[in-house]
């Protein structure tokens, strides 16, 4: 109690410099947060009302010592600084890894799945994270990515063929086809399953449903965060909830199915390696590293966590970005034409040169990642010691902070007077963006040492898909004037039922 009281006193001394909501009580902004989350939940998913609430807090904050921040206080000793100032984000990115640890509620939500994220890059810290990051990085260097171009392209060609079959308006068809396309690429590149024709083979429906349900379970836990926190404080609370509360019980069932599938795929790759096969998928690379470094450096549990992390995160974010790409190709036909012409001007073939030189395509995708904030916040971090920033300001031990990507990417200071207008040309003319925002004014894959290790993989896949679709299909959208951005799973995508699309061959 004395330790918590001392920490609370130090944090309050620091946060007294910041905006505090009127009427703030012992629990700070937590009551207001819960009220906002209830307002945000539409049809079982989280709406942009949550982002708008955070945006309002930034505007209300009048702190001069740390502009572009506000404090979210849940308890006197648990205070979270939201940050949307690129210059401060850049300084925080330079904080030594030994001075920070996981913060916020990520651990409360994700560590319950012991065979999921727990041993992967999302949850690991310090030396453990550094060692695993080095191993994982092998799959995402340029030479390795080049080996995936043909796999991605063939899947993209099948994807356009499937979309062309949707000749009448449908509210679900394009999403389902996009989902299968992304899974096909991931199954082939992560597990080395060359026969995984997911877009045409229905035998994969069961395991795909399993991964989809695990994403929905995380969303449910986010919405039920106060209950999860309470259950964790009660002895055997989580274990009892897994028996009697259907969301946790069903999640556990899907986790078992997932674990069985991952074990099967790992053992398949292990068998192929023992027979002399030199495969280039993530599973094979991890097993080769395990053989070289030993299980003490890379255990089977860590391999399973890495595979699940990249399949889950890769699917969720790429699917969301692709869904918005299809929307904007239909909504902005002039950009679809630019991308089509660019692809054919570059030779109409998919190779490293085309992918690298497709500037219109890249600008189009970057604008989607910016304005649609597929991921709107980075994983919170917590200071485990006092930290002095390069400009002399000091952040106290115990302070937690989170980079608000959604508000950084919609800031007038960073993107001019019309930050909510869809305009990919801003990435063709960088001077249209604020010079002071720098590289931390646009960071859809995060920044600093913990930037998403799969960012080049994702951009390559999106470029290939967008070029193939734009050069092959005409997209027609039908909606009531607004297609809302809604959080489903752990990423933001078009709200279910708000958009109908049809496709025709050019």
506 touches 473 (CB < 8 A): yes
434-486 pLDDT per residue, tens: 555 678 999 999 888 888 899 999 999 999 999 999 999 999 999 998 898 88
387-412 pLDDT per residue, tens: 998 888 889 998 889 999 999 999 88
- The mean pLDDT value for 153-160 works out to 98
**Single pTM value for the model:** 0.92
Q: Report how far apart, in Å, the C-alpha atoms of 407 and of each of 42, 85, 268, 414, 503 are.
A: 21, 9, 44, 10, 33
Q: Report how far apart, in Å, the C-alpha atoms of 360 and of each of 88, 152, 341, 475 are.
A: 31, 20, 10, 18
- The residue whose two tokens read 């079959």 is 165
Structure confidence at residue 105 (pLDDT):
75
Give alpha helix (H) positions in 358-478: 359-371, 405-408, 412-415, 455-472
Question: Which has more pLDDT, 129 or 160?
Answer: 160
Q: How far apart, in whole angstroms, are the C-alpha atoms of residue 291 and residue 151?
A: 27
SS3 content of the chain, % helix, strand, coil (to 5): 60, 10, 30
Nearest to 183 by CA among 158, 165, 219, 161: 158
pLDDT at 20 over 70: no
Q: Which H or E run contains 475?
A: strand 473-478
Q: How far apart, in whole angstroms, are the C-alpha atoms of residue 294 and residue 299?
A: 8
167 touches 502 (CB < 8 A): yes
221 touches 228 (CB < 8 A): yes
pLDDT at 286 over 80: yes
306-343 pLDDT per residue, tens: 999 999 988 989 999 999 999 999 999 999 999 999 99
Question: Which has more pLDDT, 49 or 274?
Answer: 274
Residue ranges with strand state E in 422-463: none
Q: How far apart, in whole angstroms, are the C-alpha atoms of residue 343 and residue 360?
A: 9
Structure confidence at residue 494 (pLDDT):
92
pLDDT at 1 over 80: no
Annotated binding site for heme: 452
Phi then psi for 71, rounded to 5 degrees? -105, 125
- DSSP letter for 203, please: G
- Name residue 479's beta-bridge partners: none
Reading the block at residue 49, the tokens are 């009302």
Structure confidence at residue 77 (pLDDT):
74
Structure confidence at residue 300 (pLDDT):
93
Q: Report how far apart, in Å, the C-alpha atoms of 63 and of each of 70, 92, 456 are.
A: 8, 18, 37
Q: Mind listing the domains of the chain with CATH numbers? A: 1-505 (1.10.630.10)
Most confident of 54-68, 90-104, 356-370, 393-407: 356-370
Predicted confidence band of residue 39 (pLDDT cuts 50, 70, 90)? low
Annotated binding site: 452
Predicted confidence band of residue 23 (pLDDT cuts 50, 70, 90)? very low
Structure confidence at residue 313 (pLDDT):
87
């Amino acid at each position: 109690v004395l330790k918590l009281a001392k920490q609370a006193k130090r944090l309050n001394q620091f946060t007294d410099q910041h905006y505090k909501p009127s009427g703030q009580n012992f629990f700070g902004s937590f009551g207001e947060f819960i009220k906002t989350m209830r307002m945000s939940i539409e049809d079982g998913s989280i709406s942009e009302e949550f982002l708008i609430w955070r945006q309002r807090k930034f505007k209300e904050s009048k702190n001069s010592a740390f502009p572009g921040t506000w404090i979210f206080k849940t308890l006197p000793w648990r205070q979270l600084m939201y940050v949307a100032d690129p210059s401060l984000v850049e300084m925080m990115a330079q904080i030594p890894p030994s001075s920070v640890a996981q913060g916020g509620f990520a651990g409360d939500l994700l560590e319950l799945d012991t065979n999921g994220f727990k041993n992967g890059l999302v949850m690991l810290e310090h030396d453990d994270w550094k060692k695993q990051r080095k191993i994982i990085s092998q799959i995402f260097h340029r030479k390795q990515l080049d080996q995936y171009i043909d796999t991605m392209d063939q899947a993209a060609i099948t994807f356009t063929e499937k979309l062309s079959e949707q000749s009448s308006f449908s509210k679900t068809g394009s999403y389902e086809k996009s989902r299968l396309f992304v899974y096909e690429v991931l199954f082939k590149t992560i597990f080395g399953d060359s026969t995984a024709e997911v877009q045409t083979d229905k035998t994969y429906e069961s395991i795909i449903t399993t991964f989809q349900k695990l994403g929905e379970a995380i969303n449910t836990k986010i919405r039920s965060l106060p209950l999860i926190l309470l259950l964790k404080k009660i002895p055997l609370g989580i274990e009892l909830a897994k028996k009697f509360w259907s969301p946790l019980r069903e999640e556990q069932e899907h986790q078992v199915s997932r674990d069985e599938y991952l074990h099967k795929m790992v053992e398949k790759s292990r068998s192929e390696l023992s027979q002399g096969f030199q495969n280039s998928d993530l599973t094979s690379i991890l097993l080769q590293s395990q053989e070289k470094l030993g299980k003490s450096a890379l255990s089977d549990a860590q391999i399973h966590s890495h595979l699940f992390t990249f399949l889950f995160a890769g699917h969720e974010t790429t699917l969301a970005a692709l869904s918005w790409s299809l929307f904007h190709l239909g909504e902005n036909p002039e950009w679809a034409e630019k991308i089509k012409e660019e692809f054919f001007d570059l030779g109409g073939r998919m190779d490293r040169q085309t992918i690298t030189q497709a500037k219109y395509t890249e600008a189009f995708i970057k604008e989607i990642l910016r304005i649609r904030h597929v991921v709107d916040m980075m994983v919170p971090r917590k200071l485990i010691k006092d930290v002095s920033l390069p400009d002399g300001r000091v952040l106290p031990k115990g302070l937690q902070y989170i980079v608000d990507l959604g508000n950084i990417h919609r800031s007038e200071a960073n993107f001019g007077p019309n930050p909510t207008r869809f305009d990919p040309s801003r990435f063709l003319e960088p001077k249209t963006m604020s010079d002071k925002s720098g590289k931390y004014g646009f960071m859809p894959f995060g920044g600093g040492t913990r930037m998403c290790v799969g960012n080049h993989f994702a951009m390559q896949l999106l470029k290939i898909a967008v070029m193939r679709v734009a050069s092959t299909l005409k997209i027609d959208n039908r909606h009531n004037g607004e297609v809302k951005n809604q959080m489903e799973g752990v990423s933001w995508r078009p709200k279910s039922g708000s958009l109908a699309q049809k496709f025709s061959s050019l």
